[in-house]
Amino acid sequence: MNLDVAGDPLSGSEGTLIAYTLLGDGLPREAEDHLWQAGLSYHPDKIAEKHLHEAQALAPGHAAVLIGLYRFYFYKTRLSEALEVAKICISKAARENGLSDDWRRVSATDAAFDCYDSSLSRFYLSSLKAYAYLQMRLGELGEGHAAASKLVELDPTDKIGAKVLLDVLERMGQDDDR
């Protein structure tokens, strides 16, 4: 089962924009330095992870730190750990958007999901997409489908790109030679 078509939902230009937008808001300089050092020390896992945990200790729950941790675990294929961070991101984004902590109870009118300029709403959608994608990669296809379906409900114009996850699930098991 190849689900790599979705890529890293909290990376690329979207994730960079979210991290940049949220980065300066209350992030201590020392935590930012640790995030920078983690990026420079990416290949020696223990060093990079130590810097990420130092940043987390200095700025617990800060979006920039969470995104750094998520990306590290994601790209190191430590998907269970990336999933745990995605769950924390969903909870953080839900709180900051005034949403239910249960993504299943969130509706399209609860936040500015249709406003692409709303970084907090995009952070929520990106975090839920990461959750859906990781559930699928970890074999929890029903949960991944439910989360991806919720994303389409919240973002019917599919700016976040959740329909690709549903397309992958639909194509699973079909003969690729058709």
Residue 21: how many other CB atoms lie within 10 Å: 16
**Does a structural domain hold residue 13?**
yes
pTM of this prediction? 0.84
**Does a structural domain hold residue 177?**
no
Q: What is the pLDDT of residue 5?
A: 37
Alpha carbons 159 and 122: distance in angstroms, whole number: 9
Residues spanned by the domain of 148: 6-171
Among the listed residues 81, 69, 79, the one whose alpha carbon sits nearest the alpha carbon of residue 19: 69
Q: pLDDT tens, 121-153?
A: 999 999 999 999 999 999 999 999 999 999 999
Is 73 in contact with 79 (CB distance < 8 Å)? yes
Residue indicated by tokens 């098991």? 173
Find how far residue 38's CA is from the centre of its chain: 19
Mean pLDDT taken over the chain: 86
- Domain count within the chain: 1
**Does a structural domain hold residue 178?**
no
